[in-house]
Amino acid sequence: MKTAREWKKYFPVFLMLLLAVIPAFVTGNYYRTVCCQAMLYAIVALGLNFIVGLSGLMTLGTAAIYGLGSYVSALFCVKLGWNPWAALIPVLISGWLIGKGLGYPSLRVQGVYLSLATIGFNEIVRNLLTNLEWTGSGTGIRNIPVYEIGGFAFDTQIRSYYLIYAVLLLFIVIAWKIVNSRWGRAFKAVKDNPDALEVCGINIANVKITAFTLSAIFAVVAGAMYAHFNRYITPATYTTDLSISFVVMLIIGGLGNFWGCIYGAYIVAFLPQLLRPIGLTYKLIYAVIIMLLVVFFPNGIFHDIRRYLGLHRVLKKGGEEG
């Protein structure tokens, strides 16, 4: 009989196998689209985890970065006729730049002011996308080409699903490596005590900017994938609402909890769709469920269920948890 700890080691494998076989059970195109959406959200959430979950900075401009990824990729393909794969290069560059650019204000502006500044950023980007002619104004961009490998086009839901699945797998590995490295420790240290990190000889400006840059790169890649999966983008997608939803994913999964980013993304993607049959009030019910989750499972659903069942060591993480 294996102990829980030994089983836990295989959890990532189980999770990825589960995600791999989901399309066999979810046959409708509509729900398969939601599955793809959930995986894209999970990529963004894994990136946002570096800022919000680990470094403890509240940023609400993620949807704008996600949108920049979509627009850069779409514009390069539609206006300049680039191959979607090649367009990933400008996408990554734009992510790197915007991450650095957003990281700097985070050094000066803190707490709730940082949240407001990033909401401002989100609104500026959304307004620009809505009003600039060359980004297609309010109607957005249509007929975005799909990804192709040697004539094999990722043009159906099921094909897109496995493409996004592969990208998610890649980003899980990258994020896992970073979280469990010196950088992961540095991010947590910034949250716990920036002064102490500074006397350890580490430039906290560098650590914060790195967190923002990583997060932006995850978000722009997910954004680009979204553009080529949906084949049609409009500025209305990239609202502050979406930015808040990204943070909600992290909170439902438990701030700083690695696998929480993934199931948090699934819950936020699926819950509204599952509640839709209720009718007009479904958004209200969705909001109430989210609130209850936050109140009763503040450290993430699975973490707290284990805690309630007594399977989890109390006070596992620092003094803040009881």
Partner 1 sequence: MSILLETKNLTKRFGGLEAVKDVNIQVKEREIHALIGPNGAGKTTTLSMINGTLRPTAGEVLFLGQEITGKPTYVVANLGIGRTFQNIKQFGSLTVLENLMVGGMSHYNKGGVLHMLLHMKETRHMEEAVEEKAKEILSRIGMEAFEKEYAGNLPYGRQKVLELGRALMGDPRLILLDEPAAGLNPSERAEFVEILKNVYESGIDLFLIEHNMDVVMNISHRITVLNFGRQIAEGTPQEIANNETVIKAYLGDRFSEGKNRRG
Would you count residue 316 as binding partner 1 (CB under 8 A)?
A: yes
- Structure-token pair, residue 88: 């990933």
Q: Write the CB contacts of 213 (distance below 8 Å, at least 6 apart in sequence).
A: 95, 96, 99, 100, 103
- State how far the Cα of 135 lies from the Cα of 90, in Å rounded to an integer: 16
The amino acid occupying position 170 is L
Q: Return the number of other C-beta atoms located less than 10 Å from residue 156's C-beta.
A: 11
Would you count residue 319 as binding partner 1 (CB under 8 A)?
A: yes
CA-based end-to-end distance of the chain: 31
- Structure-token pair, residue 73: 């990729």
Beta strand 148-149 with 152-153 is antiparallel
Whose tokens are 């729900």? That residue is 31
Contacts (CB under 8 A) with partner 1, residues 241-270:
256
- Least separation in angstroms between CB 254 and partner 1: 12
* Residue of 195, 279, 309, 310 interacting with partner 1 (CB under 8 A): 195
Would you count residue 5 as binding partner 1 (CB under 8 A)?
A: no
- State how far the Cα of 142 lies from the Cα of 136, in Å rounded to an integer: 9
Is the CB of 214 or the CB of 269 nearer to partner 1? 214
* Residue 75: closest CA among 159, 161, 134: 134
Cβ atoms 79, 200 nearer than 8 A: no
- Binding window for partner 1 (CB under 8 A); candidates: 128-136, 156-164, 177-185, 242-250: 177-185
- Binding window for partner 1 (CB under 8 A); candidates: 82-90, 104-112, 113-121, 176-184: 176-184
Q: What is the size of the binding site for partner 1 (CB under 8 A)?
A: 32
Would you count residue 170 as binding partner 1 (CB under 8 A)?
A: no
* Residue 246: closest CA among 99, 69, 49, 92: 49
Is the CB of 53 or the CB of 136 nearer to partner 1? 53
* Residue of 202, 244, 275, 289 interacting with partner 1 (CB under 8 A): 202
Contacts (CB under 8 A) with partner 1, residues 99-138:
none
Is the CB of 63 or the CB of 221 nearer to partner 1? 221
Cβ atoms 262, 15 nearer than 8 A: yes
Is the CB of 39 or the CB of 197 nearer to partner 1? 197
* Residue of 36, 87, 204, 216 interacting with partner 1 (CB under 8 A): 204
- Least separation in angstroms between CB 185 and partner 1: 5
Whose tokens are 């600039």? That residue is 132
Q: Which residue ranges make up the site for partner 1 (CB under 8 A)?
A: 174, 177-178, 181-183, 185-186, 188-189, 191-193, 195-204, 210, 214, 256, 315-320
